[in-house]
Structure 1
Amino acid sequence: MSKSAEKILNTAEDLFNRESFSIVGVDLIRDESGCSKTTLYTYFKNKQQLVIEVLKARDLRFRDSLQHYVGETVDVEALNRIYDWHIDWFQQDHFKGCLFVRAAGEATKDHQDILMITKAHKQWIYGFITSKVKYLKQPEAVIELCYNFLESLISRFLIEGFSQITADQTKNLMNRLIDRLQSK
């Protein structure tokens, strides 16, 4: 990818994350990126393609980062690493909730390609959690518990702001519930 295309993509992602997909137009992306409209349309035929490419790039970075952070760990250790990665993300200055959920919320039925990318992203997270549960009893319950805790914290910390106390209490609760599932 050329430096111009990368600059446009990064600018678009930043603007979509700060504002919204519907508010941000190609003129603003062009102005903020410092590229001409001709350059923008050379790499991206329309705004929808730009949204798609932003989501694809973000998904790849997300996957790489989470996989690297969790490494080869499995079971409770891996689940705690997945949880901790998310807690680190929630504390970033640029945290504005899940860009994939926001994209799905703003997409219309005519944007099936965007909806497919957002669904695939969430399915990958679920699958990643599933792949890390190797030797635990009641794996389906453990997977659902962890996935739903993470998804709910995204909304909670977006709305309420990050709280280390809440993060610690939730992690403690998650681990107690996993322990309880293992004793049955």
Structure 2
Amino acid sequence: MTPGARRALDAASVLFYDRGIHAVGVDLIAAEAGVTKKTLYDRFGSKEQIVVEYLAARDERWQAFLAPYVEAVTTPRARILAVFDASRDWAEVHSDKGCSMVNAHAEISDPAHPAYRVIAGQKAWMLALFTGLARAIAPRRAAKLGRTLMLLHEGALVAHGLRIFPDAIEHARDEAATLLRDARGAAAAADEKRR
């Protein structure tokens, strides 16, 4: 990526998150980046492609941010709770208006839009992460537990972005800890019954 294209994507990323995707035009992105509209179109082809690259880059940054949190702990329970810890820390620095994917989906709900795949893909990745981590705690109930953890996590991100109540992500983490304790107990009881 050329320096001008990088500046344009960086400017678009800030503008899209702060003001909304539909509210930001190519003229504003070009002006903020100090490039011409021609540079934008030569590199990206369309505003839609800039949106795709903004969301894909944000997801890539989130996954890179999350990985050390999950890798730093070894127990299944701690790894799940580490996702909430990472989200809390990410939100403090990168997401004062809530989840960029949720915000983007509020503006882009058409599955035919090229950015829709990025949005849905990021949420599918999160569900797969929670389900995979849950498998170590409750193998027979991993799908259900993964979905419940995802709902707690996503609800916390929305509540955080809307400032519904303070410490929404921490509250969701506490609820996840209770859920995991109960799930572990239920799994142990089910195993005991089968013996």
Normalised by the length of structure 1, the TM-score is 0.89
State the structure with more CA Rg: 2
- Counterpart of 1:183? 185
- Counterpart of 2:100? 99
**Unaligned 5+ runs, structure 2:** 187-195
**Unaligned 5+ runs, structure 1:** none
Judge which range, 98-107 or 151-160, deviates more: 98-107
- CA distance in structure 2 between the aligned counterparts of 1:117 and 1:173, rounded to whole angstroms: 29
Residue pair 1:90, 1:162 contacting (<8 A) in 2 also: no
Q: Deviations over 1:52-74 (max 9, x none)?
A: 11111112111122123211645
| Larger RCO of the pair (alpha carbons < 8 Å, separation 6+) | 1
- Counterpart of 1:157? 160
Q: Which SS does the other structure have where 1:21 is aligned?
A: coil
- CA distance in structure 2 between the aligned counterparts of 1:139 and 1:41, rounded to whole angstroms: 45
Q: Deviations over 1:81-114 (max 9, x none)?
A: 1010011122226521122122222125374321
Normalised by the length of structure 2, the TM-score is 0.84
For residues 31 and 161 of structure 1, do their structure 2 counterparts lie closer, same or farther at Cα, with a shift above 3 Å needed?
Answer: farther
Q: How many residues align structurally?
A: 183
- Counterpart of 2:145? 142
Q: Report deviation, 1:175.
A: 0.9
Residue pair 1:91, 1:162 contacting (<8 A) in 2 also: no
Give aligned-pair identity as a percent: 26
For residues 93 and 51 of structure 1, do their structure 2 counterparts lie closer, same or farther at Cα, with a shift above 3 Å needed?
Answer: closer
- The 5-angstrom pairing of residues 126-137 of structure 1 reads 126-137=127-138
- The 5-angstrom pairing of residues 1-184 of structure 1 reads 1-71=1-71, 73-92=74-93, 94-107=95-108, 109=110, 111-137=112-138, 138-160=141-163, 163-164=166-167, 166-184=168-186
Residue pair 2:76, 2:137 contacting (<8 A) in 1 also: yes
For residues 36 and 77 of structure 1, do their structure 2 counterparts lie closer, same or farther at Cα, with a shift above 3 Å needed?
Answer: same
> CA RMSD of the aligned region, Å?
2.0
Q: Which SS does the other structure have where 2:86 is aligned?
A: helix
